[in-house]
Amino acid sequence: MDSGVIRGLYRDITDCAHLTPGWIQGFAEFFTEAGILLFGGLLLLAWWRAPGGDSRATAVALLAPWRPWPDISSARP
């Protein structure tokens, strides 16, 4: 994608967000934080329930937040 198109789309989205009422912004902010906390709790639960003798399952549960995601910003069609 052309960076100008992406930049325009980003500005359209942020302009729309600025125009929403404050209570909707507060609702979205609350559930963004709640989602992060829920995800962290689920990761802790996965770690807690991982079998004690299986070090691979424990490592996967503990290292999930630091998984290296592929860089798609430089991908070309």
Which of 34, 32, 4, 3 lies closest to 17, judged by CA?
32
Q: How many domains does the chain have?
A: 1
Q: Which tens digits make up the pLDDT trace of 14-28?
A: 999 889 999 999 999
Can you tell me the distance from the alpha carbon of 34 to that of 15, in angstroms, rounded to the nearest whole number? 24
State which residues form the domain around 56: 3-66
Q: Which tens digits make up the pLDDT trace of 18-71?
A: 899 999 999 998 998 999 899 888 888 877 776 666 777 777 767 776 666 555
**Sign for the pseudo-dihedral over CA of 31, 37, 66, 63:** negative
Residue at 71 is within a domain: no
Tell me, yes or no, if the pTM score tops 0.75: no
Residue at 61 is within a domain: yes
CA 15 to chain centre: 22
